[in-house]
Structure 1
Amino acid sequence: MSSAWALGQIVVLGLGPEGQTAQNLASRPDLVINLPAAHQWEAVERLAPLTGRHPVPAHKRDRFRHEPAKFAAAGLQTQVSQRVRPPRVADCPLQIEARATRVAPDATGGFIIVEAAVLAVHADARIVIPGTDHIDPSAWHPLICSFRHYFGLGAELGHSFRSETAASVRHLSYSGGQMAVEGAQTAT
Structure 2
Amino acid sequence: MTEKDQEMQLFEILLSQFADAQRRTEYLTDKAHSLLGFVGVINSILVALIVFMVKDESAKKLLHSSPFFACISIFVVLGFSCYIISTIFALLSFRITKYKRVPSIHSLEFIQEVCAGKAKLSITHMAVQIFDGIQFTNEINRGKYDFLLVATGLLLLAIVCTAVIGILVFLSIG
Structure number with higher relative contact order (C-alpha < 8 Å, ≥ 6 residues apart): 2
Q: Which structure carries more helix by proportion?
A: 2
TM-score range, shorter chain: under 0.3
Query: What TM-score results when the alignment is normalised by the length of structure 2?
Result: 0.22
Q: Give me the TM-score of the superposition, normalised by structure 1.
A: 0.21
Higher percent of residues as strand: 1
Larger radius of gyration: 2
